[in-house]
Amino acid sequence: QRPVLLRSLLLLAVLVAGYGYFTLLIPDMATRLGHLGLFCSVFTISMYLSPLADLAKIVRSKSTRCLSFPLTVTTFLASTSWTLYGLQLHDPYITVDPLLQVPNVPGIITSVLRFWLFWQYPPGPDR
């Protein structure tokens, strides 16, 4: 219980520090929005990559037991819909910035990789 609480508090501290940084240290609104977009993009990419943390375990065991198929489907749908929305708005922080490569296109790519893992390595009898 304690390590989970400490990690949660650390993440909360990062968010509070980010809020303070954006509201107190960056007076120019355009600069603030640019930095905030990048900050949010980093968290979005982290969210999309997190299910792949067990990639070595999946390949070694030849089983996708530790992956969630419903999460893979919803991640694919969410990242694709946000990418299409960002393309309509011409917003680089929603779709993909050619220089920064953020944030929803990696969600599509990692979802397709997870679909391939489900096809390549069945979940096994425990599921």
Q: Where are the chain's structural domains?
A: 34-120
CB atoms within 10 A of CB 82: 19
Residue ranges in the chain assigned as alpha helix (H): 2-20, 29-49, 55-61, 69-89, 104-120
Nearest to 85 by CA among 75, 94, 73, 98: 94
pLDDT in tens, 18-47: 888 888 888 888 888 888 877 877 777 788
Q: Of the given ranges (11-20, 39-48, 103-112), which has the lowest mean pLDDT?
A: 39-48
Provide the sign of the torsion angle of the four alpha carbons 84, 89, 94, 99, taken in this order.
Answer: positive
Q: Residue 98's pLDDT is what?
A: 42
Q: Identity (one letter) of the amino acid at 36? A: L
Residue pair 94/86 in contact by the 8 Å Cβ criterion: yes
Q: Residue 61's pLDDT is what?
A: 87
**Confidence at 100, pLDDT banded by 50, 70, 90:** very low
Which whole number is the average pLDDT over 86-94? 71
CA dist 123 and 14 (Å) reads: 35
Three-state DSSP state, 24: helix
Q: Identity (one letter) of the amino acid at 64? A: T
Q: Residue 125's pLDDT is what?
A: 61
Q: Residue 117's pLDDT is what?
A: 92
**Confidence at 119, pLDDT banded by 50, 70, 90:** very high
Which residue reads 């520090």 in tokens? 17
The whole-chain average pLDDT of the chain stands at 82
Q: Is the pLDDT at 109 greater than 70, yes or no?
A: yes
Q: Is the pLDDT at 95 greater than 70, yes or no?
A: no
% of the chain at pLDDT higher than 90? 20
